[in-house]
Amino acid sequence: MDLMQLIRSYGKQPITHQLLIALLKDYKRPNDKIHDLLKEGILSPLKRGMYVVGTQLSDQIRPEPFLVANHLLGPSYVSSDTALSFHGLIPERVFEITSVTIKASRNFPTPMGLFSYERLGLPYYTFGIQQIQLGDEQWAMMASPEKSLLDKIVTTSGVVLRSAKAAESYLLEDLRIDADRLKELDVEQMSTWMDDAPKRDSLIHILKMIKTL
């Protein structure tokens, strides 16, 4: 298998610098070869030390953006607006990939788009994470519908809900979530997260509002 075929075989995942060095073990100056591959568009950079297959090699075999999000900064999972849109809770199509991490908040502008990360502490971070299949051989960690909604409230600056009425206005008018979809959420499970949740009072009003539907 030649080098181009080898690189293409890893097209469904982000490619680390360490992996490239292993693939280029027969080259005297592998870092120079990596520079050439980037210049030729065979590789496309995500961040320092991480790449994806470039469009000059393949414009069809590339990792899914949610999988890339998991790899750019770990541990992390896709959440907030991105997960809400994926789960069909909000009508808007989301272009920025938003994730939650236990590390410092930061952004990664990449050729595949903007990836943003919001910090949330333990143990709240660990609740409501699912592994979803995105395509052939591609899986990603994402917030459940319940957790993505709570993460949206927790990570949005200025959102403080002081009553069930305010929660109703925020969910139905600001986020434009359909009431029937809210009824499908597992409120009992969400209730078990409250003791460790940021913005606990706001989230409790969310649960009270959903229970009245």
Q: Which tens digits make up the pLDDT trace of 30-64?
A: 999 999 999 999 999 999 999 999 988 776 678 99
Q: b/e string for 32-43 if b means 16 or more Cβ within 10 A?
A: ebbeebeeeebb
Q: Please check whether residues 90 and 43 belong to one and the same domain.
A: no
For the chain, the average pLDDT equals 95
Q: Please check whether residues 32 and 79 belong to one and the same domain.
A: no
Cα separation values, 163 from 65, 160, 175, 189, 209, Å: 37, 9, 17, 21, 9
Compute the distance between CA of residue 205 and CA of residue 211 in angstroms, rounded to an integer. Answer: 10
**Lowest mean pLDDT, pick from 5-9, 16-20, 156-160, 180-184:** 5-9
**pLDDT confidence tier of residue 152, bands split at 50, 70 and 90:** very high
Q: Please check whether residues 73 and 38 belong to one and the same domain.
A: no
| 120 SS3 class | coil
Q: Please check whether residues 74 and 173 belong to one and the same domain.
A: yes
- The pLDDT of 120-134, averaged and rounded, is 97
Question: Has residue 59 been placed in a domain?
Answer: no
Question: Has residue 103 been placed in a domain?
Answer: yes
Which residues have a Cβ under 8 Å from the Cβ of 51 and sit 6 or more positions away? 14, 15, 16, 17, 20, 38, 43, 44, 45
Q: Please check whether residues 201 and 122 belong to one and the same domain.
A: yes
**Number of domains observed in the structure of the chain:** 2
Q: Please check whether residues 95 and 190 belong to one and the same domain.
A: yes
Cα separation values, 156 from 5, 32, 74, 148, Å: 44, 43, 21, 12
Compute the distance between CA of residue 210 and CA of residue 32 in angstroms, rounded to an integer. Answer: 58
Pairing of strands 97-101, 113-119: parallel
Compute the distance between CA of residue 160 and CA of residue 153 in angstroms, rounded to an integer. Answer: 8
pTM for the whole structure: 0.93
Question: Has residue 153 been placed in a domain?
Answer: yes
Per DSSP, what are the bridge partners of residue 130? 142
Peptide bond into 65 cis (omega under 30): no
State which H helix or E strand residue 146 sits in. helix 145-155
Question: Has residue 60 been placed in a domain?
Answer: no
Q: Please check whether residues 110 and 39 belong to one and the same domain.
A: no
Q: Please check whether residues 15 and 88 belong to one and the same domain.
A: no
Q: Please check whether residues 69 and 49 belong to one and the same domain.
A: no
Tokens read off for 164 = 């069930």
Q: What is the DSSP letter of 211?
A: H
Q: Please check whether residues 45 and 74 belong to one and the same domain.
A: no
Q: Please check whether residues 128 and 204 belong to one and the same domain.
A: yes
What is the residue range of 78's domain? Answer: 65-211
Question: Has residue 58 been placed in a domain?
Answer: no
Q: Give the total residue count for the chain.
A: 213
Tokens read off for 107 = 């952004």
User: Residue 210: pLDDT above 90?
Assistant: yes
Q: Please check whether residues 16 and 69 belong to one and the same domain.
A: no
